[in-house]
Amino acid sequence: MTAATPHPTRRVSPRVLTEALYRAAVAAGRAPSAHNNQPWRWRLTGDAMDLYLDPDRRNGGGDRIGHLDMISCGAALHHARLSLAAQGWRVTVHRRPRPSSNHHVARLRIDGPAPASAGTARLARAIRQRHTDLRPVTGSPLGPLDLRTLSRAFTSHDISVHILRPDEVLTLTLAAAHARNIEAAEVQWHEQLTLWAGAGRILGTVDRLRLPTRPGDHDRAATFVVLHGGGDQDIEWLHAGEALSTGWLVATQLGVSVLPFSAPIKNTQAREALRRAVPDLHHPYLMMRLGRHMSAAGAAHSTRLNTAEIFSAPHPL
């Protein structure tokens, strides 16, 4: 009989493991969350960290089902995984480890050391730079290479990203213009859609769509995308959050801002408008505005990493 191989982390001092997990929890604290509520808490034990939904920090309002919270937890989970990978640890992830517990979201366990790739280290550095940018998008529109890179980054675990075509954005804009009893959560995306369509210069009706034209117009520099997939279980919303985190960090590397819109999650009218505008989405998880901004000096914010560099690196996680 051969002796069982000791788990690789047995040879690592507990203090080193705790410090690695602690740093991962701190990195996860920088993850985006709806209304910045950070609806999670971590429990660190030995070589593992458990992610829990924190009932005291859950989103109220229109998100009764907790979808926004699951997306936020998914983003925190990805941030923690990425941090551990960048610190040189290989990790096993169990999502929903105890199906009977609504609050136990995931368990990360360190399996042993593994060298971090340059791409992983770079992506982890973007955690500190990533932020929500509410400014109007005024830079040049994203090109096909940017869009391909971002689509790839936002696509994982059966979560796909759909880039809205101009006619789809216009359909949404018109639906928004005709909406009644607009709730607070909707105002922001209405404003953004209207800005894109030329603020009050929409021509035509839902049946006869026509975009206003204005040469050199920067209103339309924004790109609207939707994260979507086939399922509506907690696990799919969690995966959507992980995809959001990966895509947002890659966008940060490219100097592209991401502005999520909760309205289609929280508000039935907004969700139906989105489903009508883009019928093949199955389950839309999150709509986002992507774009580049002009600096005060008038130059587009510099691209921190070019698309070719990101393409050359294997997808870190």
Ligand X SMILES: Cc1cc2nc3c(=O)[nH]c(=O)nc-3n(C[C@H](O)[C@H](O)[C@H](O)COP(=O)(O)O)c2cc1C
CB within 8 A of 74, min separation 6: which ones? 237, 238, 239, 240, 241, 242, 243, 244, 245
Site string for ligand X, 180-209 (x = CB under 6 A): --------x---------------------
With CB under 6 A as the rule, give the number of residues binding ligand X.
Answer: 18
Q: Is 64 in the site for ligand X (CB under 6 A)?
A: no
Indicate the DSSP class of residue 300: B
Comparing CB distances to ligand X, the nearer of 198 and 260 is 260
Cα–Cα distance for residue pair 10/134, rounded to 1 Å: 47
Cα–Cα distance for residue pair 247/236, rounded to 1 Å: 16
- Minimum CB–partner distance for residue 43 and ligand X (Å): 22
Among 9, 72, 267, 307, binds ligand X (CB under 6 A): 72
> Near ligand X by CB under 6 A, which window of 68-76, 92-100, 112-120, 121-129?
68-76
Among 33, 156, 252, 307, binds ligand X (CB under 6 A): 33
> Near ligand X by CB under 6 A, which window of 33-41, 88-96, 140-148, 196-204?
33-41
> Near ligand X by CB under 6 A, which window of 30-38, 77-85, 139-147, 172-180?
30-38
In the window 75-94, what residues touch ligand X (CB under 6 A)?
75
Residues counted in the chain: 317
95 neighbors 238 (Cβ within 8 angstroms)? yes
Cα–Cα distance for residue pair 76/29, rounded to 1 Å: 7
Comparing CB distances to ligand X, the nearer of 28 and 259 is 259
Q: Is 261 in the site for ligand X (CB under 6 A)?
A: yes
Task: Estimate to the nearest angstrom the gap between the alpha carbon of 67 and the chain centroid.
Answer: 13
Cα–Cα distance for residue pair 55/87, rounded to 1 Å: 30
- 3-class secondary structure, 73: helix
Which residue's CB comes closest to ligand X? 32
Q: Is 138 in the site for ligand X (CB under 6 A)?
A: no
In the window 283-302, what residues touch ligand X (CB under 6 A)?
286
Tell me the C-alpha to C-alpha distance, in Å, between residue 240 and each of 153, 158, 181, 257, 300. 12, 9, 29, 18, 30
Q: Is 62 in the site for ligand X (CB under 6 A)?
A: no
List contacts with ligand X (CB under 6 A): 32-36, 68, 71-72, 75, 131-132, 134, 188, 259-262, 286
